[in-house]
Amino acid sequence: MKSLLVLIALFLLLPAAPAAPRLAAQQKSVKAAKSAELIVYYFHTSRRCKTCLSIERVARNVFKEKYGKDKTVVFRALNIEEEKNEALAEKYEVAGSSLLVCKGGKTEDLTAEAFQYGLNDPGKLQELLITTIDRLRKG
């Protein structure tokens, strides 16, 4: 009987164990975003085309290469189909792939340009993103 209770307890705890590192990483990301001066959001759905993947890749690379050590700038890629991201998607009124740069009450929507340049001219998207981030940080 005692071994059965131990097995049941292990069975109930096992699914939660792998979630602990993800939960800690998610909480760290939320804390970083709250303390950030500027947040670059890339909202997406579960199914993504080549352009959508390229937009995220360009935005993530800009963040890592130019702002990665700057704790006042945060990059977050969020799947709007996940329940935990629904409120934020509603706040910014996004229903699909969107690239937003946010500081305080200001939001710059770069979605149209991201789709225009993301796959065919990623360098231009990179320049636009850096210019927008730097302008919002100063202003």
Residue 18 is classified by DSSP as T
Tokens 């131990």, residue located: 6
- Residue 32 has a pLDDT of 44
- Residue 36 has a pLDDT of 66
Closest CA to 126 of 136, 137, 118: 118
- Residue 2 has a pLDDT of 47
- Residue 60 has a pLDDT of 97
Task: Tell me the mean pLDDT per 10 residues along the chain, length 139.
Answer: 44 47 46 69 96 97 95 96 96 96 96 97 98 93
Residue pair 71/35 in contact by the 8 Å Cβ criterion: yes
Tokens 């990623």, residue located: 122
Beta strands in 8-66 (DSSP E): 38-44
Residue 66 is classified by DSSP as I
- Residue 122 has a pLDDT of 97
Residue pair 95/85 in contact by the 8 Å Cβ criterion: no
